[in-house]
Amino acid sequence: MSRMEDTEVIGRIRDEFPILERKTYGERPLVYLDNTASSQTPREVLAEIDNIYTLHKANVHRGVHLLSREATDLQEASRRSVAEFINAASPEEVIFTRGTTEGINLVASSFGGEFRDGDEIILTVMEHHANIVPWQLLRRHADIRIRVVPITDDGALDLEEYRRLFNPRTRLASFCHVSNVLGTLNPVAEMIAIAHSHGVPVLVDGAQAAPHFPIDVRALDADFYVFSSHKMYGPTGIGVLYGKRDLLEKMPPYQGGGEMIKHVSFEHTTFADLPFKFEAGTPDYVGIGAFPKALDFIRRTGWNTISEQEKMLLEFATEEMERIPGMKIYGTTPDKEAVISFNVGTIHNYDLGLMLDRQGVAVRTGHHCAQPLMERLGVPGTVRASFAVYNTLRDAELFIEALRKAVAMLS
């Protein structure tokens, strides 16, 4: 892959992100490589948040006055925009949540609430805690077994073992599209097809996939798909649960309150139609209304530009890091996104991350909410660097320079 980047194009992209102009610790340029945790936000999203708060702030739905109708129109336009972005069959299959975590909890509580003693769920060892703990909580009312797909030493899922885990007791398979630690891109279309051949529905955690390549839920044939705005250049506190209509219509509400009802009496309550029966209470209609601007940024930037820039940075950084004595990179499959988790010798990941930060390089350290995966890797934690389209080759070079200095000081 070429190490060249279109500096003019990437320069224009960077200009849309005011935070990238700031300095850290005096005059050190900010090198932001914590994109897997949360991406930065372009000016058009910030402007739309300001616009809604300034001119259109009023509670959505039920209101007859102009501001409420405008806020409602913005929220429902966002639902249509998201449905188009992921190729959902209809906007009613798009449920707004507070993030990927709430989306998984919603499915676990509502769909999983029907599970019984002896039922089984298939997860993978590379799952984020958000796709482990909600299923464990189901054990409060039923003796549910969680079966776990292992990985190979290079970080790929063991698909043969995945196939073997299905049996007549399997009620759901739930797995990440992309690992937040290893960067592994899982063959989810194949995995969904395998599950469906056993009559088992699938939930896909797309938090680390949706920012990096197109998601077509109908082509994947996903039963549920979840992701977050804040990892896609959008506002925080907003997530999406996509679900097939027939499944969502059968599921009971996740929470009770306003908006998700048709009629309430002390004797009986009837619930609203999709998507509203899963959206109790006042939503973050400002963030929801601004989310389409982030999707517009992605469309305007183009998936090819995003992919080429991130892959180039991944290749360059990986090759340079492998020249550092004691370097250990976790996740080396050919099919991976721009995430590099690593340790160097016996240096503690926190110490290394702190030394990088003091040089202006923002990375993540620790177990990355994936402690079972850390146990499989045999480490308590790692340092994680992750790239987005606004990162440049110069960012990667500064990261490598800072990493070499930190290793030299800590060794």
Tell me the pLDDT tens digit for each residue of 114-161: 999 999 999 999 999 999 999 999 999 999 999 999 999 999 999 999
How far, in Å, CA of 20 to CA of 109, rounded? 40
Helix 303-321 and helix 285-301, axial crossing angle in degrees, nearest 10: 80
Q: Dump pLDDT digits (tens) for 258-283.
A: 665 566 556 666 667 788 899 888 89
- Closest to 283 measured CA to CA, from 239, 242, 226, 224: 239
Write the DSSP symbol of residue 3. Answer: -
Active site residue 369: yes
What are the structural domains of the chain? 7-32+302-410 (3.90.1150.10), 47-299 (3.40.640.10)
> What's the confidence (pLDDT) of residue 256?
75
Q: Which amino acid belongs to residue 295?
A: L
How far, in Å, CA of 327 to CA of 282, rounded? 49
Q: Dump pLDDT digits (tens) for 371-396.
A: 999 999 999 999 999 999 999 999 99
> What's the confidence (pLDDT) of residue 382?
98
How far, in Å, CA of 24 to CA of 29, rounded? 6
Catalytic residue among 189, 329, 369, 410: 369
Q: Dump pLDDT digits (tens) for 312-358.
A: 999 999 999 999 999 999 999 999 999 999 999 999 999 999 999 99
Number of neighbours of residue 89 by Cβ within 10 angstroms: 12
- Closest to 230 measured CA to CA, from 163, 291, 310: 291
